[in-house]
Amino acid sequence: MKITPTLEGGLRVDVEDAGDWFVLLGITRDAVSGDEELSSRLGAMITDEEISADWRDIIVPELEEGFQTDLVHVTGAIHAAEEDGGGQLWITPENAWHWYSALNQARLALHGIHHFDSAGTRPPADLDPAVRGAFLRSQFYCAFQTLLLDHVMR
Amino acid sequence: MPDSDTLTVPRDKASLDLPWKVIVHDDPVNLMAYVTWVFMKIFGYDGKKARMLMREVHEQGRSVVWSGQRERAELYVQQLHAHQLKATLEKET
């Protein structure tokens, strides 16, 4: 897989084989892999009694809907590009946020499950294979996000 | 006789006037460049101020990124959560 900036200010993802499609679809699989929805985890931070009940009832569902919309967009774009058969997936400035959000949801969920060592003191080779796989996917998502930030979301 | 029919309701001065603080907490996932970008986008801060606040979050674990009226503070926290940042609001003491 290659991801390159476009002259239109977006990114082009060149998919080389079935494994690449699987990796891309892993973004949304990982995003929903946590025990608790991201909106609820964030909502739980609002503890002020004047606010918390309304927040839980009104804001949390709204946030969850937004996060789901981003995942639906990304999954749809991947499936559409796969069916198109050209092996290319285009990310425009207009839809870059959906991608950044989905990648971030995936990284947050993976970190919540595996608690990766952010100091990097433990080499990936020493990790349990399932954790190593999750760690490497998280690193890929991070690199993808950096490309979005540097070339699209400026 | 008053020159309008406006009903004046005394308000709870303490709860309405106390400023609220919007606080962003550090997390190991969100990228520093992204946090800076979010501060610029949501609060309209220039790059220098946004980077300074991002550094404060990163180095001190949290930063008060805005303070003021409660409704506005709630809106900002909602926007920060929509951008997947850990944010809370607290009453000034």
Q: Please tell me which residue of chain B has the smallest CA distance to A97.
A: B83
What's this model's pTM, rounded to 2 decimal places? 0.90
CATH topology of domain B18-91: Ribosomal Protein L30; Chain: A, (3.30.1390)
Nearest to B34 by CA among A142, A72, A12, A139: A142
* Shortest alpha-carbon distance between residue B75 and chain A (Å): 10
Mutate to test the interface with B, among A108, A144, A150, A154 (most CBs of B within 10 A): A108
pLDDT per residue as tens, chain A (154 positions): 999 999 999 999 999 999 999 999 999 999 999 989 999 999 999 999 889 999 999 999 999 999 999 999 999 999 999 999 999 999 999 999 999 999 999 999 999 999 987 666 677 788 888 899 999 999 999 999 999 999 999 8
Contacting residues of B for A63, CB less than 8 Å apart: 78, 81-82
Q: How much is the pLDDT for B36?
A: 98
Q: Chain A within 8 Å of B81 (Cβ-Cβ)?
A: yes
Cα separation, A22 vs A31, in Å, equals 14
Q: Chain A within 8 Å of B72 (Cβ-Cβ)?
A: no
Give the residue extent of every domain in chain B.
18-91
What SS3 class is residue B66? strand
Cα separation, B4 vs B38, in Å, equals 46
Q: How much is the pLDDT for B10?
A: 54
Q: How much is the pLDDT for B15?
A: 53
Cross-chain residue pair B33–A146, CB shorter than 8 Å: yes
